Amino acid sequence: MLTLFKKIFIWWNQDTLGTRLKTILFGKFVGADDLGNKYYESKNGKRWVIYSDTIDASKIPVEWYSWIHFTPNKIEKKHNLEKYHWQKPHQENLTGTDSAYYPNKNKDGVKKKYSSWKE
């Protein structure tokens, strides 16, 4: 019962019932990325993504980001783009988490560039 309620009303928990119906009736499957996100396009040119997990726009890889924003890219010609050995895998935005990047980080946390007069 709770899962059905989530599907109908909660948009941040994957796709809602309305999005699912729109995808079934009007969507043409274009492709999927390595994270499991599925990309669709309608006959009149609208594009959308069905996320594999929680909805977060930073989970869209670069090649699909340019496709969904109508920026010309190789993805329209070739769906499985080969990556170079030096390219890192796509990572979602980690700001505000424990895995966030800090440029001057030491073992105690973030290294300050100054010392406060009250210690």
Going by pLDDT thresholds of 50, 70 and 90, the confidence category of residue 28 is very high
Q: pTM of the prediction?
A: 0.61
Residues 70, 81 contacting (CB under 8 angstroms): no
Mean pLDDT for the stretch of residues 48-75: 81
Which range marks the domain in which residue 52 is found? 28-82
Give pLDDT tens digits for 13-24. 667 777 788 888
Q: What is the pLDDT of residue 29?
A: 94
User: Domain for residue 109, yes or no?
Assistant: no
Give pLDDT tens digits for 71-87. 876 555 555 566 778 88
In the chain, the number of structural domains is 1
User: Domain for residue 111, yes or no?
Assistant: no
